[in-house]
Amino acid sequence: MKSDERQVRLNRKNGVGFLTFPRLEALPFLRHVFSTRLGGVSQKEFSSLNLAFGRGDPNENVLENYRRLCAAAGFDATSLVSSAQVHRSAVRRVGRQNRGEGFTKPKPAGVDGMVTNETGVTLVTHHADCVPLYFADPVRRAIGLAHAGWRGTAARIGAETVHTLTREYGSRPEDLVCVVGPSIGPCCFEVDSPVFEIFAAMGDLTPREWIREDGGGKYHIDLWEANRRILMRAGVPEQNISVSGLCTRCHPDLLFSHRATGGKRGGLAAFLALREADDEN
Ligand SMILES: [Zn+2]
């Protein structure tokens, strides 16, 4: 499937740049964003809207960047909930009692996905090439957000998030709307044989259609397409899935990329929240 740059929009407010997806903009009961490098206070390799703690950027800069993005994109900065991601497939149900985890409270470890059906809670996942997966159930008014690097993709965290929404809230997969967000694209995600073998073994996803063999033991893998097919196998209709088509490594001025910088970089974040009923427009 061809990626489509129109599936993502760059917004600017108060000097802060942030991305939104037309597919989710059409759902008035939620608020979403994917961050960029634009409009923060951090310096050097963290310039400027670094949202990653613990990489050498002073915490007060990172917190100020969160405040700026929240103010620009309309999120309540006290509503954020995050977790320590470990590139696996555990998905956790969270609610208002979890607000502040990963910011003003310790963050739970070993969680790469979250779901909620409560307002006043903003799910936050951390990225710098790894694929963000957004989930919205307009019928049950539930949402999910997942961090799918290559390991999480291979562990099918997308399907795990669908199953968690079904188990916790009774969501039907056919009602879900999903966005595969900005991350390293098929243009840039080159791997060696061991990683290739893992994806080549995902036989139910016809992997030969989204893996390119370059020769010399090198391969290019399309993680967007792998995730799209995982979601479809989990029952999400093809027409309900949108791929943003924006590669982090190809846009170094706009986005942080782990591969583009050898790890000397700041971090991006995905945000997703249900709006209060009186906040819908
Ligand atoms: Zn690229």
pLDDT for 110 equals: 95
Report percent pLDDT > 90 for the chain. 95
Task: Please state the rounded mean pLDDT for residues 59-65.
Answer: 97
Is the separation of the CB atoms in 28 and 10 below 8 Å?
A: no
Report percent pLDDT > 70 for the chain. 98
Amino acid found at 139: V
- Residue 200 CA to ligand 1 centre (angstroms): 21
pLDDT for 281 equals: 54
Is the separation of the CB atoms in 210 and 226 below 8 Å?
A: yes
- Residue 138 CA to ligand 1 centre (angstroms): 32
CATH number of 5-189+239-275: 3.60.140.10
Q: How many Å apart are CA 274 and CA 30, to the nearest integer?
A: 4
66: enclosing H helix or E strand = helix 59-73
- Residue 95 CA to ligand 1 centre (angstroms): 36
- Residue 73 CA to ligand 1 centre (angstroms): 26
Phi, psi dihedrals of residue 74, rounded to the nearest 5°: 85, 25
- Residue 242 CA to ligand 1 centre (angstroms): 18
116 contact partners, CB below 8 Å, separation of at least 6: 81, 93, 94, 95, 123, 142, 143, 144, 274
Task: Please state the rounded mean pLDDT for residues 2-15.
Answer: 81
Does residue 246 carry a pLDDT above 90? yes
- Residue 2 CA to ligand 1 centre (angstroms): 14
163: enclosing H helix or E strand = helix 157-169
Q: Which two tokens stand for residue 87?
A: 């590139």
Task: Please state the rounded mean pLDDT for residues 5-13.
Answer: 88
Amino acid found at 51: L
Q: Which two tokens stand for residue 100?
A: 């502040």
- Residue 93 CA to ligand 1 centre (angstroms): 33
* Per-position b or e across 177-207, b if 16+ CB within 10 A of its CB: bbbbbbbbbbebbebeeebbebbeebeebeb
Does residue 247 carry a pLDDT above 50? yes
pLDDT tens digits, 188-227: 999 999 999 999 999 999 999 999 999 999 999 999 999 9
Q: pLDDT category, 6, cuts 50, 70, 90?
A: confident
- Residue 72 CA to ligand 1 centre (angstroms): 28
pLDDT for 55 equals: 96
pLDDT for 1 equals: 37
CA 176 to chain centre: 16
Is the separation of the CB atoms in 35 and 69 below 8 Å?
A: yes
Radius of gyration of the chain (CA): 18
- Residue 224 CA to ligand 1 centre (angstroms): 12
147: enclosing H helix or E strand = strand 142-148
- Residue 140 CA to ligand 1 centre (angstroms): 36
Q: How many Å apart are CA 269 and CA 143, to the nearest integer?
A: 16
- Residue 68 CA to ligand 1 centre (angstroms): 28
pTM of whole model > 0.95? yes
189 contact partners, CB below 8 Å, separation of at least 6: 150, 220, 221, 222, 223, 259
- Residue 116 CA to ligand 1 centre (angstroms): 32
133: enclosing H helix or E strand = strand 131-137
Q: How many Å apart are CA 128 and CA 225, to the nearest integer?
A: 18
29 contact partners, CB below 8 Å, separation of at least 6: 138, 141, 274, 275, 280
- Residue 153 CA to ligand 1 centre (angstroms): 18
Task: Please state the rounded mean pLDDT for residues 42-54.
Answer: 97
- Residue 52 CA to ligand 1 centre (angstroms): 22
